[in-house]
A and B are shown apart, each in its own frame.
Chain A
């Protein structure tokens, strides 16, 4: 199950400079760091809105769909990258269409969750079938489900960069109305913000971002970069700007630390990235709990931070 690496792997020397130099002397590691950075930034920014809009279930569904997408593409002889993108975006569009009929302008309604869950289960099963049909897939379903940093090509990095740039540009354009529609859909609609159209655009962007993240963290661990950093950031601050920045920094840190750890330690990347993310979340939660407890006696600490 563990990657068939040479028995004597690289050794961490505590001399950070030489460690990083050694690590980055391998082109595949450099590509992994590049791809990780792109994916971390895009996922964290998307994730901020996912958490705010409470659309984690939609995000989860989209990411699950990436599994049969990637497996199917490989089975049909295409690159898995196309499978990720096409099925994720398609799933997002379908969720958007269902959400429309389910009413509720903004976040995905509860009535669609049963249907989504049903389809999700079937698609996962299909993906498993595709894997079984295509016997030669490297590493079996694990790499698709739980991610890998081995063998990320430069062209793959370029695709990630291109798609990521488009997603971020689109978010920059619709960011403010999207925030308005996410927080306060009724008033936003009365102000002429196209709440439904934004919801569809957001889901399409979500599909693209999920397809990106899935290629690094694996489709099952997309939340490590999509939800956890954003949730951590929103635990710490209520300011949109600060929250977005913090989410990006946390996702970047988790990804790069995870990559470094996975380079020196022969265990899966997805585990490390998720663990760092999760540790940050735990820290933030306990910090906040501690603060609210202390805050009853000495209030203005976080306030000062919030207004600074």
Chain B
């Protein structure tokens, strides 16, 4: 089970050396590639209500994927299904080639709206370290030097990777929201996962931090060849980085490249009500007319400093 995926990862690493591959994966999935995520006709039911159904999805290694859609449509629920915390009511779900929940040790998970208040007196390093071996029972009574050093080194490495070295030794409750989020991303990454599931990681952050965190995730995704599935409420700040989009709405889903999915016709079909996708002069997209008021979107447009919106959309 591990072997073919490792092979696939390696293969993907060879075929996709530059930071961002082109955006053509869904139509022709690479034949020898075991998809990181595969959903076929999947449906989920919460308290008797079907949130979404008939979802087909295939995501390859090293892709940056966003799960978009209005509130309450079941985006976080999708993450729970992928983690195996909630069974799919119908269809087939495979995560890293296994049933959901079977491969969780190879998944880094960042839950929604998690923050530590000032009374949480535990250091950032310790929180990251818990991600490495926090699930192990017992106490390491005789500290076997090499293993311990390796663990400490890995923690330092991953903290360096997310750029949190400056404050990782402070109690995490004293860190700002953005700093905490970086440390939590480090925690999710510390075991070298093949898949990162992020539930609105930039939700509670202000705009500069939002784009910084998104850029960091995108960089990790493409540098370390980690597949990222990121639940997001607002597409505009992350759009430049995305390889693939899953749009959930009105009980169904559409997936593909951002250009394929975020179009007036697709969204109109999903919502069953006229939705318009506008393209700004610098090539960014804005969704207008969906049930969520787009006021925040236009707001973000004027101030969001996300460079390269044009090249993602065009």
Contacts and interface: CB of A to CB of B under 8 A. Distances in A.
A173 interface: yes
A192 B123 contact: no
Contacts of B111: 186-187, 190
A52 B122 contact: yes
Interface residues of A, number: 30
Interface stretch (A72-80, A145-153, A218-226, A236-244): A236-244
B99 to A, nearest CB: 14
A172 B140 CA distance: 10
B138 A187 contact: no
A183 B135 contact: no
B109 A187 contact: yes
Interface string B71-114: 00000000000010100000000000000000011010111001
Interface of A: 52, 54, 172-177, 179-180, 183-184, 186-193, 234-235, 237-240, 243, 303, 306-307
B127 A183 contact: yes
A183 B120 contact: yes
Contacts of A179: 130, 134
A238 B170 CA distance: 7
Contact of B169 (A172, A188, A306): A306
Contacts of A239: 123, 126
Contacts of A303: 169-170
A54 B170 CA distance: 20
Nearest to B112: A186
B139 interface: yes
B157 interface: no
A99 to B, nearest CB: 19
Interface string B159-182: 000000000011110000000000
A174 B139 CA distance: 8
A237 B169 CA distance: 10
Nearest to B188: A187
Given A175-B139, A176-B130, A187-B188, 14 more contacts: A173-B138, A176-B134, A176-B136, A177-B137, A180-B134, A184-B114, A186-B114, A188-B134, A192-B104, A193-B135, A238-B123, A239-B123, A240-B122, A303-B169
B282 interface: no
B187 interface: yes
Nearest to A231: B121
Nearest to B172: A238
B114 A191 contact: no
B62 interface: no
Nearest to B187: A187
B107 A238 contact: no
B131 interface: yes
B260 interface: no
